Amino acid sequence: MATRLIPSSFQCDCGHVSHFFERTVRAIELDSGRRGKSVRIADSERDEHAIEFSNGRAVAVICPKLGRCKISGWA
């Protein structure tokens, strides 16, 4: 299961860590809560990972190797 490391960093099951600005993550959480549907943000690494937000919280990491990995909680 993927984990949330700090308020703006996420670790995939494959070991990749995605870092974002806290302000960006807060804005996406608010946006996903208002829209009522999922929103994704992606990092700019070569093997791009995306973080999926739904109902105001991060729910999954989308990995190019493993697919969709649910976020189990905080590390």
Model pLDDT for residues 32-73, shown as the tens digit of each residue: 999 888 999 999 888 899 999 999 999 999 999 999 999 998
DSSP readout, 27-69?
HHHHHHHHHSS-EEEE--SSS--EEEEETTEEEEEEETTTEEE
**What is the C-alpha to C-alpha distance for residues 57 and 26, in angstroms, rounded to an integer?**
9
What per-residue confidence (pLDDT) applies to 46? 84
What per-residue confidence (pLDDT) applies to 21? 95
What per-residue confidence (pLDDT) applies to 68? 96
User: Maximum distance among all alpha carbons in the chain?
Assistant: 31
What per-residue confidence (pLDDT) applies to 8? 93
Mean pLDDT of 20-35: 94
Tokens for 38?
């999922």
What per-residue confidence (pLDDT) applies to 74? 83
The distance from CA 69 to its chain's CA centroid, rounded to whole angstroms, is 10
* Phi, psi at 26, each rounded to 5°: -60, -40
